[in-house]
Every structure is written in structure tokens, then in C-alpha cells.
Chains A and B, each alone.
Chain A
Amino acid sequence: MTTLIVALAVGAILFGVGLYGALSQTNLVMIMMGVEVILGGALVNLVAFWRFLHPEAYSGQMFVLIVMTVMALDMAVGFGVATGRFRARGSIEMEEARDLKG
């Protein structure tokens, strides 16, 4: 049990760090890093729950793999967007991306 709590705490810390990073960074890449860390923290939680509660169900492992793939895809797309943005504007500072202002 204690291990579970520790794992969850790690996951929470990761989540928090990632959240702080995504919210406070202005650079797109940094925001993406923050999102990745969030996702990592979530993954840690997921693994902890699997390992300590239901180790026999391998659907947890599947889930983790899928999320990792999605994270990769997600990063690919994000870098694509960043590259595109850089080519269009010459910077990827999010403070300058106000085009969708309502």
C-alpha cells in the first residue's frame, strides 16, 4: 500500500510540474514538454494502479502502450504545428499567437 501511495505521489508531482510548465511557458515547445510531463504523471498513476491493484489484467499494459503511442503522435503533430508556425511567423512564442482572439 505504501508503495502505491508513493507511486501516486510521484505521479502527482509529475502532474503538477507538468501543469505548471504548460501554464507558465510561452514557448510552444516548452508547453508541449509540459503536456508530455502531465501525460507522464498520468501514466505513472496508471501503472501504479495496475501494478498494485490488478497486476493480472494486462489491459493496463495495453493502455499504457497506447497512451505512449498517442503521446508520440501528439508530439509529432505538435512539432509539425510548431514548425509550420515558425515558418509562417518566424517565432513560436505563444504570446504572439492571438489570431483566434474572439
Chain B
Amino acid sequence: MFPLVSATLFLPLVGAMLLVFMRGSSPRLAHAVGIAASGLTLLGSILMWARGVTGEGFSQVEEVAWIPSLGAAYRVGVDGISLPLVLMTAILFFVSLVFSAHISERARSYVALFLLLETACLGVFVALDAVLFYVFFEVSLVGMYFIIAGWGYEGRQRAALTFFIYTLLGSLPLLLAILALYLGSEPNTFDMRSYIDSPPLSGLAATLALIAMLVTFFVKTPVFPVHTWLPLAHTEAPTAGSVILAGVMLKLGTYGLVRFALQMTPDALKQLAPLVVALGVFSALYGAFVALGQTDLKRLVAYTSVNHMGYVVVGVGVAAATTDAEVRSLALDGATLQMVSHGVVTGALFLLVGMLQDRAHTRDMGAFGGLLQVVPVLGWAFVLAAFASLGLPGLAHFPAELQVFLGTFYVYPVAAIVVLGLAVTAGLYLRAIQVAFLGEPLGKWTGMKDLGAREVLAVAPLLLLTVLLGVAPFLVLEVIHATTAGLLP
């Protein structure tokens, strides 16, 4: 069997290596290499999608022994939860690299870093070995640090450093948890599949390991109160960096929640579920309200990420808490679909805000006005993405959020108060649209150019996916449900 997963995983890295050796190449060539590498990776992930997953455990597994005595090996594979995330990652990276084709300053390094980051992110999703998972998890931080520090906006150095140290410190408890899992497993192994099939820890050890994992993943997701790195990193990161940060890297945290916290310490999570759900609800509502109070468009979208990821946390918590397999799969379907939807929609939003910033050199809503007349394509794209983000049916977030809310109502009816987030996000997006896009355009914006070919090529696929996910979510849910239907015993 052709090792498709490994090939898809390392293709971007190969591209990065190529770029390292191509000294003195022009930015165009660098971007061409980047787009080609990520395009091939996208093709690989589409083929992986076509190969599909079976309902039992992991599919398309590729394994190479490394240190048999330690039980550490190179293991990769996918299941119904990770495969959509892999495809989403590939799409987002491809789109980001297409969009970034205009960067001419140190283009080679930029593209190489992005490709490295792509491998790291894909690696997190396909890793079946805990050490491998952790390595990729950390490498992604390195890539993003350099991207922010090198090509970001004014406060980029500080933001990159804060981001890096914050999330790095946040990742350390995960290492402890992995070690605990390793020591608890019989025989000692780092194979994630054995952790899932027979959870190695119980009692206090499991609870402590779970808390450690929750710390890490809550920082990454992010969840209140360890979320404040997100707006900072987003506003200073370059546009494509923001797209990846929100679209992919936040999912590393939520994926970890499902894969590690839910599947490897299920009983402990079941006990902590009320707390997790409460935190998720609070974080969702909190994120929505703080987003409402923003005037910086990028910060606004960043906080809506906190809101949407809060729904995911709620879904995972509910899935842990319930004993009814149908409700569990409902909640997990919703949570996973929300991850994919958020990646696509928020990716589009960040692209559009970045395009606006490129033209206007400001992100302040109040500085704009009437842009729908001046840049209609950008404007209507923003309207579409914004309505998707606030959960309008027929667009990406609605099916996922409906599933999460319904599942939550089954288990914790009180927590259904989280639907208030819908009203708040509606308010904040309508306000943003009204202030920035409607009304009479200010004189200084009348010369603003509408979207060029590169930008349309970047954002159109995401918008198409937004509609597709809203109208035909079953295309993705089939794959997700195959796994979640039989997830926990």
C-alpha cells in the first residue's frame, strides 16, 4: 500500500527543504514551490478522503518501529475525527499560500516556514504515537513564532514571544500527562491506540493527568481564562498567519481534547464534565461579549473564535458526560463539524479582514463606512462569512451548532443558555457590517480597489465550502459519524 498518509504529511517538509537549498531564488519561484507543495498535499489529503475510514479504530495506519523497548514508534493514521481536520488543514494552507503570493520580502523563508508549519499541523492530526504528537505539537509553535516575528505588524516581536512562551508553558503539562500515560500502560508504550483501547490510568492518577491535559488544551483552544494570547497573536500576525492560527492551530487544542482527554481518560472527564461544560459555556458567552466590545476587526474575529471554540468544548464535555451513545455521537459530531466549519469560515474572515487592512492600513471599524459600495466583492464576501459565523442556517456553522446545542440540552438542559451566544454574535457581526460596510462611503476610501484574482482565488474556495457545509453537512458528517458512532464503550 502506498504510504499515502506519510507522503501527504512530509510533502510540505520536502518542499521546505527544497526551498532551503534554493538560495537566491526569486520570490515568484519560492511561492510557486510553496503552492505546488501545498497543492500536492491537498491532493494527497483528497485521496486520503477518498480512501475513507472504517468505523473501527484508525484507518490508513502506517507504522515504522523506532525504539521498540520504549514502545515509541513512528505511527500515523486517521479516523473519522482526524480525517476532516486533515483535509481542512490542507485546504487552508493551500489557500493561505495562494494568498501570500504577493509577499516579496524574504519570500523563501516565509514559504519554507509555512510548509514546515503545515507538516507540523498535519502531523498532530495523524500522529498515533504520543511522542510524535508532542513533537509536532511543539514544532508548530516554532513555525508560527517565526512567521509572526518575521512578517507581522508593528508589535510583532512582543506578540510572537508572548504567544510562543505562553503556549509553550501551556504545553508542558501535556508532556507530564503523556509520561503518566506511558508509565501507566501495560506494557509501557507510547502508542495512542492502546491508550484509547484500554485507558491506562484510573482514579486520582487519571484525574491529575486529565487536569494536566486540560490545562494544555485549554490554553491552545483557547478557553477563558487562558485565552488572552489569542487576540494579541492574531492582530500582529500576517494575514495568512492569522488564517492558519485560527483555522488550524486552535483545532490542535480541541483535537487533543477529543483524542486525549475524552478517549484516554474517559471516566475522569466524565467526572469533570460539569466543570468543563460550564467553562465552555462561560468561555463561549464571554468571547461573544468581548467581541461585541471590539473596534478592531481582527480582534473582533479573534474573540469570535473563543466563542466558537467554546461550543466545541461544550460538545466534548457533553459527549463525556452522557451514557447514551446516540447523544454522545450527536455532541461529538457537532463538535468535530464545528472545528471544520470554524476553520473554513474564520479562515475566510481573516483573509477578508487582511485584504481590507492591506488596502486601508487600518483595522479600526470606525475608520470605515459604506465599503459595500466601494469594494462590493469584498463586502459581500464578508457579509456571507459573517452570517455563516453567526450561525445562519444554510451556511457552515449551523449544523454543527445545532448538534452541539441539542446534545447539550439532552444532558445539561440548563447549559442550553449557551444559545444566547447566537444572539450576541448576531449583534456583533451586524454592528461590524453596519459600521464598516453600510452607509455612505467616506471620501478617502472611494479609490479602494476590489479583490484581485489572487485574493478571489484564495477566498472563493472557502466561501464555497461554507455554503457546501451548510447545505450538505452530511458529506462530512458521514465520515465523522462513522467514528463517533462507536467511540466510547
Question: Within the complex, are A and B direct neighbours (CB within 8 Å)?
Answer: no
User: Which residues of B are in contact with A by a Cβ distance under 8 Å?
Assistant: none
